[in-house]
Amino acid sequence: MPGLGHLFIGERVRGVIFLATISITFWTGMAIGGVRNTVNPGERQLWFMGQICAGGHALAALAWSRQIEPATGRDHSSLIAYGREEEVSVVYTAICGLLNILIIFDVLVRAEQQQLAASRRGLPPGRARSSR
């Protein structure tokens, strides 16, 4: 989940901001394009690789889309979109996954910086977390 690494190293505000931003953006994309077509590894393999990097959000959306029956005679207009809306939703969700990769790199660098700062102060590695 986006932001959990920052919460783990003690940067609560940053972690909550990342978690909220990625979550809201991902599910906004799902709302724009519909559940059934947005996260679709069968038709959009490359886009799905970006989407899956959003973590649990993509897995939840994929499970939800698998529960929806294909449109036969029933009205699924609230769950399926076509055209520009579908394209926008796929891009939104894939960008969330790519942003999550940047967030992972950010937390790794911040954790390393905290450990270096703690080693300079003479603290053991387990006490390197920030008190923020």
Question: Residue 132 — very low, low, confident or very high, per pLDDT cuts 50/70/90?
Answer: very low
Q: Residue 130 pLDDT more than 60?
A: no
- Mean pLDDT for the stretch of residues 105-122: 90
Question: Residue 103 — very low, low, confident or very high, per pLDDT cuts 50/70/90?
Answer: very high
Burial of 121 (0-12, 13-18, 19+ CB in 10 A): exposed
Tell me the whole-structure pTM to 2 decimals: 0.73
Q: Residue 99 pLDDT more than 90?
A: yes
pLDDT of residue 75: 55
Percent of the chain's residues with pLDDT above 90: 36
What's at 63, amino acid-wise? A
Say if CB 32 and CB 84 are below 8 A apart: no
**Cβ of 54: how many Cβ atoms within 10 Å?**
28
Q: Residue 83 pLDDT more than 50?
A: yes
Determine the distance from the C-alpha atom of residue 41 to the mean position of all C-alpha atoms in its chain, rounded to a whole number.
Answer: 16
- Mean pLDDT for the stretch of residues 43-61: 89
Say if CB 86 and CB 35 are below 8 A apart: no
pLDDT of residue 125: 59
